[in-house]
């Protein structure tokens, strides 16, 4: 490594989800700039950001309207605690989120990132039930699910490589099978019915102890873009309500237009009790997340001091983050971003059809813009090697094992989208020669 930034990085930095025994040999890039859907490295090379910088970038990098909103807010109020105080950007954002969300959700609790939103939602659900006179210490979650990396969020995750190490120190949970893992020839509808039957059997056994059922709606993103039929989410809503458990839908990855609708739950016509969002909330510019909760849950915390929700962080609802989010939502409206996201998804689906029968490809899974291309193993770390080769075609992404992920910014246009698809073909050709 001759780049001084990389040399210093290797000496001082510990990267998340990164094996440092491999990293120096993985040709890491130093990203120095971004504009629109493009990123630039320290050698001046430009690449399309085909995974939205880990699924967060909405309109593009350095979006002027969001930058201007942050700058204007910084000139009046950079930060004030939200613990017992308030400020206009936070209040306005809460109102905007409620107005754009399912009718069951009336209150907004701000957090910092996806993990912390899920963590807050889990604690909220448990304490609400407890203060309603029900001690329900169990959570039900779904195999191959991912909800973050804090202990509560890990407790309701189901990806073995990420979660097994920490099981001895986690919450008590019960897990059902993934509706996105199907037997050969099995339809999504039949798999949904099969897992719903499993869920019902479980709740018949332990239902009075279950506080909430936690699911990613329609797409288990970190599980490899595993998709499931809307009937699964609809059934979870019905069964959870029958047994008195809350439904927490984690829309950190799926929300803010990624599935072609503002929220994935809209496609199933489901109204959850709790919904978490993050990633694209500020357009991918600043860290901010939120838990949207029902009025019933909020009301459970009214009472004496002991019934307070003792949870929150110093930078909760930071005004700069809130200003960025407000600008992002305004742009979504003005640019019809949600409709454009649906177009991106349809275009990707059509463009990738020739690869669906390619012997090098196991399966292509997609809902909206969220796309996973599972490739057949070919040597070591095949997915990574395909993504590495895609750089030669000017496209950046990051795999999940042997699943190549495509989730471009929602502002991407047709020529750049075509380049992304061509890069996948190039990557396959390079690796499987």
pLDDT on residue 1: 67
* Structure token pair of residue 285: 């510019």
pLDDT on residue 433: 87
What pLDDT digit, counting tens, does each position of 67-95 carry?
Answer: 999 999 999 999 999 999 999 999 999 99
pLDDT on residue 389: 98
Half-sphere exposure of 344 (CA within 13 A, CB side): 31
Nearest one of 74, 98, 114, 96 to 319, comparing CA atoms: 74
Which residues, including other chains, have CB under 8 Å from residue 330's CB and lie 6 or more apart? 65
* Structure token pair of residue 154: 């890990």
> Are the CB atoms for 173 and 138 separated by under 8 Å?
yes
pLDDT on residue 355: 96
Nearest one of 53, 33, 35 to 43, comparing CA atoms: 33
What are the residue ranges in the chain where pLDDT is below 70? 1
Instruction: Report all structural domains of the chain as residue ranges with CATH numbers, in order of start.
Output: 4-59+336-431 (3.90.1150.10), 67-334 (3.40.640.10)
> Are the CB atoms for 113 and 188 separated by under 8 Å?
no
Its pTM stands at: 0.97
Give the DSSP H or E segment for 122: helix 114-131
DSSP 24-39: GGS----EEEEEBTEE
Collapsing DSSP to helix, strand or coil, 264 comes out as: coil
């Amino acid at each position: 490594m001759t780049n001084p930034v990389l040399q210093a990085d290797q000496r001082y930095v510990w990267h998340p989800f990164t094996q440092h025994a491999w990293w120096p040999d993985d040709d890491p890039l130093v990203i120095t700039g971004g504009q629109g859907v493009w990123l630039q490295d320290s050698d001046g090379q430009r690449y399309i950001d085909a995974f939205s910088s880990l699924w967060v970038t909405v309109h593009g990098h350095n979006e002027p309207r969001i930058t201007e909103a942050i700058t204007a807010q910084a000139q009046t109020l950079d930060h004030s605690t939200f613990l017992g105080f308030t400020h206009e950007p936070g209040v306005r954002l809460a109102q905007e989120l409620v107005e754009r969300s399912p009718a069951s959700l009336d209150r907004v609790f701000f957090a910092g990132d996806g993990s912390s939103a899920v963590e807050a939602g889990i604690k909220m659900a448990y304490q609400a039930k407890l203060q309603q006179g029900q001690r329900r210490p169990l959570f039900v979650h779904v195999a191959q699910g991912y909800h973050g990396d804090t202990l509560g969020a890990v407790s309701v995750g189901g990806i073995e490589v990420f979660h097994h190490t920490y099981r001895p120190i986690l919450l008590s949970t019960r897990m059902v099978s993934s509706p996105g893992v199907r037997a050969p020839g099995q339809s999504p509808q039949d798999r949904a019915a099969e897992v719903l039957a499993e869920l019902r059997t479980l709740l018949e056994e332990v239902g009075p102890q279950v506080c909430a059922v936690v699911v990613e709606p329609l797409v288990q993103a970190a599980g490899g873009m595993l998709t499931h039929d809307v009937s699964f989410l609809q059934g979870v809503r019905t069964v959870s309500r029958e047994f008195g458990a809350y439904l927490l839908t984690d829309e950190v990855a799926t929300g803010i237009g990624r599935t072609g609708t503002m929220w994935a739950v809209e496609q199933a016509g489901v109204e959850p009790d709790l919904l978490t969002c993050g990633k694209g909330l500020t357009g991918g510019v600043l860290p901010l997340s939120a838990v949207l909760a029902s009025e019933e849950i909020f009301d459970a915390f009214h009472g004496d001091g002991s019934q307070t929700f003792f949870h929150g962080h110093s930078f909760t609802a930071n005004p700069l983050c809130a200003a960025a989010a407000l600008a992002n939502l305004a742009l979504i409206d003005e640019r019809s971003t949600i409709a454009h996201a649906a177009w991106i998804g349809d275009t990707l689906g059509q463009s990738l059809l020739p690869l669906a029968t390619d012997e090098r490809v196991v399966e292509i899974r997609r809902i909206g813009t969220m796309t996973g291309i599972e490739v057949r193993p070919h040597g070591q770390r095949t997915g990574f090697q395909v993504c590495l080769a895609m750089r030669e075609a000017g496209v950046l992404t990051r795999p999940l094992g042997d699943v190549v992920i495509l989730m471009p910014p929602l502002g991407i246009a047709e020529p750049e989208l075509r380049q992304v698809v061509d890069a996948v073909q190039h990557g396959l050709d390079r690796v499987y020669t």
